[in-house]
Structure 1
Amino acid sequence: MPEMKEQSVKKIATRESYGSALAELGKLNDKIVVLDADLAAATKTGVFKKVFPERHIDCGIAECNMMGIAAGLAATGMVPFASTFAMFAAGRAFEQVRNSIGYPHLNVKIGATHAGISVGEDGATHQCNEDIALMRTIPGMVVICPADDVEARAAVKAAAEYEGPVYMRFGRLAVPVINDNPEYEFKIGKGVVLKEGSDLTIVATGLEVGHALEAAKLLAADGIDAEVINIHTIKPLDEEFIVKSAKKTGRVVTVEEHSIIGGLGSAVCDALSENAPVPVFKIGVRDVFGESGPAAELIHKYELDAEGIYKQIKSKWY
């Protein structure tokens, strides 16, 4: 029965959502232009290119130059989406993102795909577990990490409407659609309670949101009532939202497919240490590089699936 249920869940990679959303937005806003660094098939900006070839620029394998071009386009009133793998967008082009986009606070949107260890077989060199940490240090940069297809599409739309630089993090691995309901509403900087609870708060982002919900079910079977919060916007962080939950439950767990250094966990700790000091346990990539292997197996090995989250919480506090 569990296998049948798993098969019935719709799964879509958020990079696919990114490409589709861009193509739809292009029809509504003729100022949107998409840049890519020789990876249109992988980042899915090829979907936009097929519909609007005159508004798609392949900058070649020159990510730093691409960020400069995006800055120039933004300065002329266009709305550029600069797209490449997270490792190259946040890593290789950091200086250009900081100085050419962040410093003048230009209206550039960065679509960073293939983030985290779920890149899989591409291995440690391409599994960027540091991008959130890097991007949240840039003054004025909005950092978004959507949980599923619904949220990713909404994030792209919200980014296009927002005036200022935005970094969006998308994944390669197909993930369950969990926000497919009429009540869902995406607002930059606002958290979402997916499950109310009283014993501890699980704050998750990206593909870890789905795993956190499943982990909460395993904890419930042991009589532990976990509150699950989806934080799709890591900067600006919904501090008031997190503080309120922390005061209610008294314990917080953060879960991210990113280093536990400088990412969601660090942002939550900053907020809580100042406003509501409670014990915080950070679950993520623990100061190590990734490795090559099937994405799902890596998520399991690094204890970032529901079972791993459950086991770590039980080991830490129960």
Structure 2
Amino acid sequence: MPFKHNAARRHRIGKMKFKVTNWPEYKAGLRQRGSLTVWIAPEALSLWQAPKRMTRGGQQRYSDLAIETTLMLGMVFGLRLRQTEGLLTSVLKLMGLDLAVPDHTTLSRRARTWRSSGERQGGRLSGEGPVHVLIDSTGLEICGAGQWLEEKHGTRSRRSWRKLHLALDADSGEIIAHVMTDQDTGDATQVEPLLDQIGIPIRQFTADGAYDGKPTYDAVTSHSADAAIVIPPRVNAVKRSDIEPPSQRDRHIAAINTDGRMTWQAVTGYGKRSLVETAIGRYKAVIGRRLRARSFDAQQTEVAIGCAVLNRMLTCARPKSARSKVAAT
């Protein structure tokens, strides 16, 4: 993974080639992703109706599980709420199940208050680990004219972007934590909220230079004191001589000054950070680059279900790649 300083001569650097070693299984899993086979467990049938509330107020008809199932089905097939309602109605009818389907108005309203269950959406559960965590962020466009208004008429649109912060398990490729904020929120400020969702020890924490700073190191150390933190320091970073023993950041600066940044990347395994960029690309390709929901709470629900969908798909089909011996010239 060449550093940005080598951009001028990157065309001379041979590109690494990889080969999928489990192509038959991976191909079968990709076909399975498009299967319309639906299986509903008896436990899910019993939990379709919302439990009776013991306080004042109206009684909900559908449980959070029913809302999640319906929204997830619509997101997988790229449908709007009305079309999702029609699809689930036809599926349940073909299965011979007498279950009421949430209408589009109910889905829109409940999406603003839906909360995931105690079990995290598709990632590792508490008690497993330690884990190598990769963190990065990306922008998601809000539904609306946005940039077109600004470029065409010079009008500043109130609808712009949301920022999605992801934490990835480097070993399994699953999204184990996510946070959505507005576009003006700094990346480093969301490290602690992401780590709060990870109930397992961290073996290594890897992020890009935007996370370089004492707050990030303190947040990771507070979560897992023995975690190795791999963040490239700034180009003008200076090693502090008044701290003994030297901190991890100071050791990174000394190693880069001695052996160069490329060697430091190879020794620390910084190149694995590309996996979280791949996950971001997978999110935008499968789920979409634009948020469909309009309210912030509903957008949080959309992102949470989108991450769960990606994790489900990853368990269905995941390629195993091996680097080829001969690189392209």
Larger of the two Rg values belongs to structure: 2
Q: Normalising to structure 2: TM-score of the pair? A: 0.24
* Greater relative contact order (Cα < 8 A, sep 6+): 2
More strand per residue: 1 or 2?
Answer: 1
Q: Normalising to structure 1: TM-score of the pair? A: 0.24
